[in-house]
Amino acid sequence: MRSLSDTLERLARMRSVNPVLPTGSILRKLDHFGDNPGDLTAWCHVPKHLPAAPALVVVLHGCTQTAAGYDAGSGWSALAEDYGFAVLFPEQNRQNNANLCFNWFNAADTRRGQGEAMSIRQMIAAVVAEHHVDERRIYITGLSAGGAMANAMLACYPEVFAGGAIIAGLPYAVAATIPEAFDRMRGQGLPGTGASQASLRAASRHEGAWPTVSVWQGTSDNTVVPQNAAAIIAQWRGVHSVPEQPTQVETIDGHLRSVWRDDRGVDVIELHKISGMGHGTPIDTSCGYGSASPFMLDVGVSSTVLIARSWGLAASFERRERTHAPTSAESMATPQTPPSGGVGGSIQMVIENALRSAGLMK
């Protein structure tokens, strides 16, 4: 198991891997999205031919990474250009965290209406208003610290998201200090299922349908160990009322996918175990999306494409070998009804009106 000092040293060595905006990046900066209490930066990509009422994917980079660097490695903007959905990339600033990690372990940044979580929520509201996003099709994904923050967003704002994908991430509200964060990454001191599920429920007053959750984990990850993936599954089983054991286990591209299906026949939780993979986002450069770089691992499986397919955002050409008999009903989670509200005037006025109506700006 890696020591705390070794992990810090490795993160420090990676701090300058990606420049702020790699040559050829198509991201544009989002300048107006509320009072930004978490002091984050926002980038986005909107395809040239955006359909009416498009979907939105929020993508959170990992430690030592930037928004543009993660986009280049994962291929999200390229996929969005091909399939017509918007992508939002919140970005950490070094004054908030020296290693550019989202502060997933800081309660002030992971509570509803506060800090970095609130900034990300404001960014989403701004993009929704400007591009008339279908509020029933908003999704979030992230790697490592970004995965943990994606989980925090799903917990704090479950009414906003139809689904989330957590890659090498951690459960919500399991650490309150940096030493605790490193312990949890190593699988030490993780709370029991009951306490973890209670933390999730306490994050909001949500009473509606909960977002679906997809968890991705390398079996050889020594930075955020696989016990965290199991703990995330356990945390979300409560709100989805599914049993401990998965409904189905199957093989995709040689790697195991476990599925928890609710009593409506909906796949509400899934776990992808990428055999032999270390810490990072699984990509497949042969599919035309993404490029290999530190923490962007070419293992012949594109998590970007498979996640987009599961959300109904990209064409599905399944290659599955079933190890358990499938049930007849496999579908997306029932989306929530979008809130009503009018917009008008300039883009700036539209954004500000939407932020005010959502209670995100005075």
Give average pLDDT by consecutive 10-residue segment, the chain, 362 residues: 46 40 75 95 95 97 97 97 97 97 97 98 98 98 98 98 98 96 97 97 96 98 98 98 96 93 96 98 95 96 96 70 35 31 40 53 49
In the block, residue with structure tokens 């890696």 = 2
Question: In a 3-state reduction of DSSP, which class is residue 104?
Answer: coil
pLDDT of residue 360: 54
State the pLDDT at residue 319.
42
Q: Are 53 and 85 in contact (CB under 8 A)?
A: no
What tens digit of pLDDT does each residue of 14-73 get?
433 333 445 567 899 999 899 999 999 999 999 988 999 999 999 999 999 999 999 999
Q: Where are the alpha helices (DSSP H) in 76-177?
A: 76-83, 115-131, 145-156
- Output the pLDDT for position 1: 43
Q: According to the model, what pLDDT value does residue 10 have?
A: 44
Domains located in the chain, CATH noted = 4-357 (3.40.50.1820)
Q: What predicted TM-score, i.e. pTM, was given to this entire model?
A: 0.83
Q: Is 80 exposed, middle or buried (0-12, 13-18, 19+ CB in 10 A)?
A: buried
Q: Are 58 and 148 in contact (CB under 8 A)?
A: no
- Bridge partners of 337? none
Query: Are 242 and 261 in contact, with CB atoms under 8 Å apart?
Result: yes
Tens digit of each residue's pLDDT (9 = 90 or more) over 217-257:
999 999 999 999 999 999 999 999 999 999 999 998 889 99
The reply to whether 144 belongs to the active site is yes
Say whether 42 sits in a helix, a strand or coil.
strand
Q: Which of 74, 77, 119, 144 is catalytic?
A: 144
Ordered strands of the 267-274 beta sheet: 28-29, 41-45, 86-91, 56-60, 138-143, 163-167, 212-218, 267-274, 255-261, 248-252, 320-322
